[in-house]
Homo-oligomer: A and B are copies of this chain.
């Protein structure tokens, strides 16, 4: 029996001195000092220094050590001794191994980029092509370990809350998410196709109809979209559905799950219950539905105050059904004209010609905005914006939608520019009661904000026909640090209400049958009230590992052209394969 190791390269400490050990790993660095050869031996657990020297190494071992190259895989046997010059940067730094045996398990040809040099900047495409070499640098693997811990935490937490993990099919049918499907031609039924699931939405609702009661899955989902930096053709979500409950039952379950992940992966204890805001409140206060709460600086309503000013840009906007809002950058009066000009340029991207501002100095309120405010109105502004000496306020006037977008961006930008964000803090927020419908300006029709199975808010049932755009839904999002982390809803479980919603978004009975036929039928055999949520797992791991690229948290990612540079998938196939499937490519191959 071959013994490759008695310990890993990260295990040995001062108390092991005197032991005879066997280690295996990669040659991280070799330093050949003539009489002595030093090798940093690496595995994923750490690095141990090995010394070859004729004082304790046999001649053949010593000679062989001179042949070692970077990334050779070797097995070494020897004695653990104290190191003359300890390296306090690594846990094994107080010891080294006097080698008595050496075996080369596998050689390495010259590398496309060095593994041991962390400073060298390697093009991402090259790192993806040689993903296995990039992995040896450690970061990807440590991200994978966090990912594994998060998967374990997810499963333990949900299992303890009575949820059963169900694997739903990958070879599936088109779902109503509305993005583009990946298709799989059927060989047995030529001309027909499976679709890779955009989510297990219908399957999980079917499981509720089937009485499973509490379902979850760490599900792989697929969307054939043009890729952005944070998208992959296949992505992963924690998919959850439960029966006989409301969001007040679901939220604590999700809070326990998220708390557990942060505890296990980051050692951070998130306080629960998480904050909640209605969609309406959230938009008013932060200008967006996924605000970053790691800093304050809420938006402040000032339309009423603005009416009393003499500023034409304010009164004009109000006259045109616009609103006036602003924010107070506390202690921000140090901003230079140049910085203020940059912020003005930022809001101009949303169509605003100017950004009004005022500072409070020991001489009182100053700046362009201040000139338009009556002296007697100044105390009201100071009270509303809680202006103190050293603060600067910004104000915009115009159409509500663009104004909220602009102020949201301005708020984030100021926070980023001036270090208002504690990168080690995490601020989850539930946003509830989203609108049920949205107006599709292009197609001039109503569409569902979430999906057609989302239940209206109980209080707004009567609105959905008369004033559909006013109706709220029973949907909710979880945002953390400015990112959408989860989205879900109470579902419609009443066939008549479901029909009504289908009609409102312009679906005929026939279209429903084609698209959701089996599903609508299933709802008619006794459906429990149910609700669910899906958490973006890759995005969560990005937050937990502090990276801003999804490719850092997926083992074998695709690049932005949906190619895996390592395997070179997708790739050509044989004419015989296409013939068996009964398909032709446009390029003419059979």
What is the interface of chain A, defined by CB distance below 8 A to chain B? Answer: 1-2, 4-5, 24, 26-27, 42-45, 71-73, 105-109, 111, 130-136, 140-141, 144-145, 147-148, 151-152, 155-156, 159, 164-174, 180-196, 202-203, 206-207, 209-213, 220, 222, 224, 226, 233-234, 236, 244-246, 248, 493-495, 518, 522, 524-529, 554-556, 558, 561-564, 566-573, 577, 580-587, 589
Contact = CB atoms under 8 A, between A and B. Distances in A.
A4 B525 contact: no
A121 to B, nearest CB: 20
A137 to B, nearest CB: 9
A555 B168 contact: yes
A69 to B, nearest CB: 9
A72 B494 CA distance: 12
Nearest to A188: B562
Contact of A182 (B172, B184, B190, B561): B184
A581 B183 contact: yes
B525 A71 contact: yes
A212 B181 CA distance: 33
A348 B206 CA distance: 50
A159 B155 CA distance: 13
A570 B194 contact: yes
A170 B45 CA distance: 29
A186 to B, nearest CB: 4
Given A166-B555, A184-B184, 19 more contacts: A4-B244, A71-B526, A72-B526, A106-B529, A135-B211, A148-B159, A152-B165, A155-B155, A170-B170, A170-B220, A171-B570, A172-B569, A185-B185, A185-B585, A190-B586, A191-B572, A203-B556, A583-B584, A584-B585
B570 A234 contact: no
Contacts of A140: 210
A167 B555 contact: yes
Contacts of A244: 4-5, 24, 43
B44 A585 contact: no
18 contacts: A2-B246, A24-B528, A27-B526, A42-B211, A44-B211, A44-B213, A106-B527, A130-B525, A145-B164, A169-B556, A173-B569, A183-B184, A184-B196, A190-B585, A192-B572, A193-B572, A193-B573, A584-B584
Residue among A43, A244, A522, A568 with max Cβ neighbours from chain B (10 Å): A244
Contacts of A495: 106
Nearest to A5: B244
Closest 10 pairs (CB-CB, A-B) = A135-B210, A108-B526, A132-B210, A71-B526, A4-B244, A173-B569, A192-B570, A186-B570, A173-B567, A582-B586
A151 to B, nearest CB: 6
Nearest to A194: B570
Contacts of A188: 226, 561-562
Contacts of A493: 73, 105-106
Contact of A191 (B27, B195, B589): B589
